Structure 1
Amino acid sequence: MKTTTFGVDLAKRVFQIHWVDMETGEVGRLKLKRVQVRPFFANRAPAIVALEACGSAHYWARQLVALGHEVRLIAPHFVRPFVKRNKTDAADAQAIWEAAQRPEMRFVAVKSEAQQSVLTLHRVREQLMKMRQMQINQMHGLLYEFGAGVPAGRRSMADAARALTELADTLPAMVIETLREQLQRIEALTHDMAAIERRLALWRRENEAARRLMAIPGVGLLSATAAIATIGEASTFHSGREFAAFLGLVPRQSGTGGRVKLLGISKRGDVYLRTLLIHGARSVLTHDKHLSKALQCLLARRPFNVAVVALANKMARTIWALLAHGRTYQSGYVAHAA
């Protein structure tokens, strides 16, 4: 007996389900409220449930796996080509069902609750960092309007405080007080970010894989914890190159007539983790005084930023190898053919 495949279009309140009966060939379409979804699948035999990897997809995937079903998460841009008509919930559910039938379709690994929790900390910290940068830029611009040139960067906030003291006699008191409140907001945002980093450090102490990843040059607390939470299951990727492609660290290809041209990096996939790896690679090439001969040769013949991305690609492949095979980092390791 063949296993039934369900295509589910997720939503906040109303879910659309599409399936085909394996015995009769009858097409089934059903609209369910949120509270009806779990009882519906609890009363079904173990089946394949395809979901679009969007908001709440990992939560519902864990719920359905607990009921004995096999869950397949599909990236939204892989589902879109299968929508045959106007975009509706029913059309989306059918497109998800059809995409799940493709033999070469790639699926997203289901994240655990712990991995989603770590990603939540990273998302909040990223937003706080953007807000802090906005506040700092505004502070620089406002002080510049009154003739106070403060160096760029957040480390110059001490200079901004001194500039405010110097301008206290020439500016209205309401302006001085408002700018001082701005400085306090910047300090509060920095304090909140530090608190999140301490929580990530506590999680890293309990996670053996994160400690192994931090042995890689250029991989710190943020990169290690974000990599583990983003990958989910390392076995989802067949190789380190596939993981690097998932992060957008491989060249785009454009070809016709059997001739393929390599362009710049694709920049697809997870922007946050790719940014962390590139910053880590830049730090290694800038501050490490004992670079390997291969990196020295790369820097001698290619531009600096190209070498940075190449090292970030290598770091991504190393991260996958350590997680997929349960190994520890070895400096100077050389892979051998099987």
Structure 2
Amino acid sequence: MDLTPVGIDIAKTVFQVHYINQDTGEVVNKPIRRAAFLEHFSNRAPCLIGMEACGGAHHWARKLVEMGHQVKLMPGEFVKAFNIRNKNDAADARAIWLAVQQPGKAVAVKTEMQQAMLALHRAREQLVKFRTMQINSLRGLLAEYGEVSAKGRASLDKAIPGILARVADRLPAVLIDTLREQWAGLTKLDEQIAAIERRMREWKKDDRAVKAISEIPGVGLLTATAAVAMMGDAKAFRSGREFAAWAGLVPRQTGSGGKVNLHGISKRGDTYLRTLLIHGARSVLIHANEPGPWIEQLKKRRHPNVVIVALANRIARTIWAVLAHDRPYQKGYVSARPAGTASVS
């Protein structure tokens, strides 16, 4: 059955809807209030609904799927190519309507549980940023009075009692009290971060997919929970290579006249997940006793940073294989093609 394509530009209170009435051929581009949005689609035949993957999109996608519609969430940069000239709600809805009819990789609609885990990651990431800002602020303020400590949080915690004692005689008490409060605030941030990580570990115990990929070297608590939540359905990706490309861990390409040039990694996809994968690969190279012959050979001929990214790419592909094929991680496993199968480039 051919589904009527519909483009929806979602917002806080007014949603813009664009489609062509199949019975009359009329081009419909009209605003719908938030309260009447679901009612408008509850009485319609199944449609192919396109939306940008922005704030609130997953919530509305789940509601529309429950009504029997097919929903395709798309990255904003993919939709932007179809927005011609002026940007407004009507033009955005039309651009989404054009984009949803094009072939392209859709963003998987996440469950509420997956979004909840990502919310924990975002909250933790924000707290870590606050903690880093607090530490740098303390260092900068103390450096103004000639007090400099060694690098690292442990060095700062060890040095700051003595520093505050030395400057207490020549600086106002209100400043000393404020610096002590700022230093004490680091402990509170540590406790908040630890509490979030404890909740993640509790979720890990109940999630089979997170437990499975946690066995992969370089995949810890943060990487495992973030990968499962961001990926959605692993089978939405055709291969591990496609998942690695989605994470931005493949070379960026430019070319003309039949010649293709490869550059650094594309850095597309989610920066947070890509950062976790690269940190995990770096940890494997630093701490692994036997990293394996593939890594050893690569280290002889390529820069260390290139080796780290290559290993991160391999970890991403391994994560996809474990989840897509629903089997445990096996060290040294070699994927073999069935006899008579032609290779696909």
TM-score (norm 1): 0.97
For 1:177 and 1:277, the matched residues in 2 are separated by: 41
- Read off the aligned partner of 1:212 and give its amino acid letter: A
- Read off the aligned partner of 2:120 and give its amino acid letter: L
For 2:25 and 2:174, the matched residues in 1 are separated by: 75
Q: Which residue of structure 1 aligns with residue 300 of structure 2?
A: 300
Q: Secondary structure at the match of 1:18?
A: strand
The offset of 1:163, in angstroms, is 2.0
Deviating above 4 A after TM superposition, structure 1's stretches of 4 or more consecutive aligned residues are none
List gaps (5 residues or longer) in structure 2: 339-345
1:94 matches 2:104: no
**Are the counterparts in 2 of residues 65 and 71 from structure 1 also a CA contact under 8 Å?**
yes
For 2:154 and 2:118, the matched residues in 1 are separated by: 27
Q: Secondary structure at the match of 2:19?
A: strand
- Read off the aligned partner of 1:122 and give its amino acid letter: H
Q: Which residue of structure 1 aligns with residue 128 of structure 2?
A: 129
The offset of 1:86, in angstroms, is 0.7
Deviates more, 1:154-163 or 1:5-14: 154-163
Superposed counterparts of 1:1-338, under 5 Å: 2-102=2-102, 104-156=103-155, 157-338=157-338
The offset of 1:164, in angstroms, is 1.7
For 1:267 and 1:29, the matched residues in 2 are separated by: 36
The offset of 1:158, in angstroms, is 2.8
C-alpha distance after superposition, 1:249-301 (max 9, x if no partner): 10011111111111011111100000001011101101111110111111121
Q: Secondary structure at the match of 2:81?
A: helix
Q: Secondary structure at the match of 1:82?
A: coil
List gaps (5 residues or longer) in structure 1: none
Deviates more, 1:191-200 or 1:23-32: 23-32
- Read off the aligned partner of 2:226 and give its amino acid letter: A
TM-score (norm 2): 0.95
Q: Secondary structure at the match of 1:255?
A: strand
For 2:151 and 2:234, the matched residues in 1 are separated by: 40
The offset of 1:121, in angstroms, is 0.4
Question: Cα RMSD between the aligned structures?
Answer: 1.2
- Read off the aligned partner of 2:74 and give its amino acid letter: I
Deviates more, 1:216-225 or 1:47-56: 47-56
Q: Secondary structure at the match of 1:181?
A: helix
For 1:197 and 1:5, the matched residues in 2 are separated by: 42
The offset of 1:45, in angstroms, is 1.5
- Read off the aligned partner of 1:146 and give its amino acid letter: Y
Provide the identity percentage.
54
The offset of 1:72, in angstroms, is 0.8
For 2:84 and 2:166, the matched residues in 1 are separated by: 67
- Read off the aligned partner of 1:111 and give its amino acid letter: K
Closer, same or farther in 2 for the Cα pair 1:212/1:2, shift >3 Å? closer
For 1:2 and 1:119, the matched residues in 2 are separated by: 35
Q: Which residue of structure 1 aligns with residue 342 of structure 2?
A: none
**Are the counterparts in 2 of residues 2 and 22 from structure 1 also a CA contact under 8 Å?**
no
Q: Secondary structure at the match of 2:198?
A: helix
For 2:199 and 2:121, the matched residues in 1 are separated by: 11
Q: Secondary structure at the match of 1:106?
A: coil
